[in-house]
Amino acid sequence: GNSVTQMEGPVTLSEEAFLTINCTYTATGYPSLFWYVQYPGEGLQLLLKATKADDKGSNKGFEATYRKETTSFHLEKGSVQVSDSAVYFCALSDKGGTASKLTFGTGTRLQVTL
Amino acid sequence: DAGVTQSPTHLIKTRGQQVTLRCSPKSGHDTVSWYQQALGQGPQFIFQYYEEEERQRGNFPDRFSGHQFPNYSSELNVNALLLGDSALYLCASSFQGLNNQPQHFGDGTRLSIL
């Protein structure tokens, strides 16, 4: 079956530091890949997505590139802010990404300090 | 434009009881998926409803059941509650007719079993 593996947290960074959160996946076919963010007490918000190999998703300074050869979708940001502190989830969908079920990783907590 | 709304926000039950959680999808969406998020874990897919029928189901026992109404809203029912059912229950909506569009999540219902 499908699975997603994320680096364990928590990740603690100083403001303006570079962020990488690793994500690898196992799936049949050509899944769509997503990063969701969850702030305390809230649901999940879509951060970015990529639907085919070599696509780069980007939003709010975050980027991730769909690498089929390494089955990876690592999240990066060049300069984090305190407001980026949250839990980040990597996820995949195996049917074009719209109405198919999502398979999530266990999440990576990011804490950014001044 | 209202997003996905869930009710109630919090709920406390005791073992053996039954519970019903409710979800209204984002305007224009016709598909509702339910996820269970245990503390410190990623969301796990429970099931998905479209055209008032269960279309996909995750690895959850029959104690978990659902319903979708003609207005696309949905309910999640859990019978014979166990301590392990304590979790954040997330509802996500999407539109079947659009490929590669992400699911939109509500803020969840936090269920505590005593």
- Counted residue by residue, chain B has a size of 114
Residue B21's nearest CA partner among B29, A39, B40, B10 is B10
Provide the shortest C-alpha distance from residue A80 to chain B (in Å). 23
Determine whether B41 is exposed, middle or buried from the number of CB atoms within 10 Å of its CB (0-12, 13-18, 19+): middle
Instruction: Identify the residue with better confidence: B1 or A90.
Output: A90
Query: What pLDDT does B27 receive?
Result: 93
pLDDT higher than threshold 90 for residue B106: yes
Chain A residues in contact with chain B using a Cβ-Cβ cutoff of 8 Å: 4, 32, 34, 36, 41-46, 49, 51, 89, 91, 96-107
Instruction: Return the structure tokens found at A62.
Output: 């975050």
**Residue written as token pair 């085919």:** A52
CB atoms A101 and B107 under 8 Å:
no
Q: How far is CA B22 from the centre of its chain?
A: 7
The DSSP-derived string for B52-101 is TEEEEE-S--TTEEEEE-TTS-EEEEE-S--GGG-EEEEEEEE-TTSTTP
Q: What is the pLDDT of residue A9?
A: 85
Cα separation, B17 vs A25, whole angstroms: 38
State both tokens at A102. 């999502």
Which residues of chain B does A50 touch, with a Cβ-Cβ cutoff of 8 Å?
A: none
Q: Over range B83-97, report the average pLDDT.
A: 93
Is the CB of B35 less than 8 angstroms away from the CB of A46?
no
Q: How far apart are CA A35 and CA A60, in angstroms?
A: 12
Q: Does B42 touch chain A (CB under 8 A)?
A: yes
Whether B58 has its CB under 8 Å from any CB of chain A: the answer is yes
* Residue A30: how many other CB atoms lie within 10 Å: 13
List, for residues B11-47, the tens digit of each pLDDT value. Answer: 999 999 999 999 999 999 999 999 999 998 999 999 9
pLDDT of chain A, 114 residues: tens digit per residue: 899 999 888 999 999 999 999 999 999 888 999 999 999 888 899 999 998 899 999 999 999 999 999 999 999 999 999 999 999 999 998 765 456 789 999 999 999 999
Quick check: B51 pLDDT over 60? Answer: yes
Inter-residue contact A2 to A103 (CB < 8 Å): yes
For residues A66 and A16, what is the distance between their CA atoms, to the nearest angstrom? 25
Q: How far is CA B19 from CA A90, B77, B89, B94, in A?
A: 30, 6, 12, 25
